[in-house]
Homo-oligomer: A and B are copies of this chain.
């Protein structure tokens, strides 16, 4: 469905406005889909993202601040997200020896297992998207980067 139909708006002021609305709408759409995906596994999308960041460290520790830098939404509170994951025994948390202000966060085997489980489902999702074709996807990624770049 075109963005016009999705929000029942027959025309847009200009292509720029349409793009802004289309981007926000598509972002929301994806977030909602992903949230729905995660729900049966008992974690939120943000929590999953933190887990994925930790997984990407391959066993190495990472501070809460570094997690924030790698998150999609910098505004959300990495400290509290880690707290939630800790409560679910998916990550461990120890004070950093070199800098006692910092906290080293690791993923636990249970966390890795959960990621693996969810990623099977996400791969299905990815397969659907791949119908668009590699070239189109590359172009989309480029346009998105350029789009953000255009805004100071």
Contact = CB atoms under 8 A, between A and B. Distances in A.
A56 interface: yes
A144 B22 CA distance: 7
Interface stretch (A12-20, A86-94, A103-111): A12-20
Given A15-B134, A141-B3, A149-B1, A23 B26 contact: yes
A2 to B, nearest CB: 5
A105 to B, nearest CB: 16
Given A28-B72, A128-B150, A144 B9 contact: no
Nearest to A9: B70
Given A23-B27, A70-B9, A136 B140 contact: no
**For chain A, what secondary structure do more than half of its interface residues adopt (helix, strand, loop), or is it mixed?**
helix
Interface string A120-152: 001001111111101011111101111111111
Interface in A12-42: 13-34
**Among A127, A139, A140: residue with most chain B CB under 10 A:** A140
Contact of A24 (B1, B3, B19, B31): B31
Contacts of A34: 20, 24
Contacts of A30: 20, 23-24, 27
Contact of A15 (B26, B122, B137, B148): B137
A91 to B, nearest CB: 19
